[in-house]
Structure 1
């Protein structure tokens, strides 16, 4: 299929009009609209949202065109599927202007600070680690194809949640899409989603992670190189706890039990209360 220049509603997503001018897309999109923040003033839309649930296979086709289009696809879930506003996406409950640049943050420093903020010494939930940050998990030596695994997770997610809509964000990488769109799902944890994006950048590089699904306060990643042993998984679990302690506090506890679920798992899910 011939690639066509981006239509005006997609060009409007780019901060730099010159960058948008050279972009193209060969994948036909379903009906949708550009969504601007209802919380902030400004002419630039935060993202594009489909009017109806995402068609099967479209996420992977758009992901494959990201380098040419500059648009990262997201599968977006609503707080309540029966809500006609499809919050927070359809209602524009996002704050892109309030987010900093993910590149301005050191993911290792963020995780270390969050770990210290959310652990006590001793803390049975985070044993065998104490209050001192244990450091980043080792980078796996091998892994699968990040794109293939991301496509597979997107297909599985849509099969289980057929109501999810398609979002498009003008971002250089999936991690940055969360900050560019102004998503504030972890608002009770950090009011700057660029900090979340900075950690995700590191996971993209180290574990072949890809941002696939986003809800009101939930996040789903595909993972090409998950831990393969319990010791490796325990180190990754420490990063997860620092990143999203609710996964352990209100999910699987203690940390050692949480780690068991990470061994060989090609998807990581997070939820902030």
Structure 2
């Protein structure tokens, strides 16, 4: 980072340091040396409009990993990322849907009918974007509550700070590569997250090696809308269904989205 976050924040920070990028550059992430204290995420988030610093609760695959991959190990590539503005989120989701629903060799483990059966009733037809909901709950307050809850379940989480306009942008700015097995330009995923921020009051709260956790202020409350949201989730992160023992079809996954104020993603 080109600045010291302590000079921008009124909230006192724990000991920490900037993390160099994988290419050896200055990087764009400030990382705390130890776990984030309860309530710290919310206090920093409340200052975001003034400071431009977005907080992230950072996890790794193994809580006992001293390198806290990819954060402390510097496995971040901000230089390789484009800008979210360069991408059309609706077009991205439609293309990813076509890619993920195309039957391929080795699909024998899927239900009869192949990948299209997993995504019934849409099959291989992209259904389009889900409608957003009118503003209701305060997205900031919802995010603060979720950060407190999530942090209580994982007290080892570190604090990350990124100079970004939103949590969606922070992922690309930091150079996170969680979905790299599907696409190595995180800015594309940030572009989709921007639309979720607008339509559903989504806020990026926590990020792991290949996981992402969002708070949702205005989730779908009707099953038909939840099914369209589920389609977006499948396009965005197909492993949420392919690798989900509790919801191995779009319909069963959608049931879990109705009035759910947290969305979680994992890329294999």
**Which residue number corresponds to residue 140 of structure 2?**
147
**Which residue number corresponds to residue 128 of structure 1?**
121
**Which residue number corresponds to residue 267 of structure 1?**
262
- Is 1:194 the equivalent of 2:187? yes
Shift of 1:131: 1.3
- Is 1:36 the equivalent of 2:16? no
> 2:3, 2:213 → 1: CA distance?
30
**Which residue number corresponds to residue 109 of structure 2?**
none
Verify the 8 A CA contact 2:234 2:240 in the aligned structure 1: yes
**Within-5 A mapping of 1:172-251:** 172-251=165-244
TM-score, length-scaled by structure 1: 0.90
Verify the 8 A CA contact 1:120 1:130 in the aligned structure 2: no
Verify the 8 A CA contact 2:162 2:170 in the aligned structure 1: yes
> 1:259, 1:212 → 2: CA distance?
22
RMSD, aligned α-carbons: 1.6
Shift of 1:10: 3.2
Query: What SS does the corresponding residue of 2:56 show, helix, strand or coil?
Result: strand
Verify the 8 A CA contact 2:27 2:78 in the aligned structure 1: no
> 2:184, 2:230 → 1: CA distance?
23
- Is 1:101 the equivalent of 2:83? yes
> 2:94, 2:3 → 1: CA distance?
43
Query: What SS does the corresponding residue of 1:118 show, helix, strand or coil?
Result: helix
TM-score, length-scaled by structure 2: 0.92
Structure 1: segments with no counterpart, 5+ residues: 1-5, 12-22
Shift of 1:153: 0.4
Residue deviations 1:183-218 (CA, integer Å, cap 9, x gap):
000000110000000000000011100000000000
- Is 1:253 the equivalent of 2:237? no
**Within-5 A mapping of 1:16-55:** 24-37=8-21, 39-42=22-25, 44-55=26-37
> 2:208, 2:259 → 1: CA distance?
24
Query: What SS does the corresponding residue of 1:72 show, helix, strand or coil?
Result: strand
Shift of 1:130: 2.2
Shift of 1:41: 3.5
**Which residue number corresponds to residue 97 of structure 2?**
115
> 1:105, 1:162 → 2: CA distance?
36
**Which residue number corresponds to residue 4 of structure 2?**
9
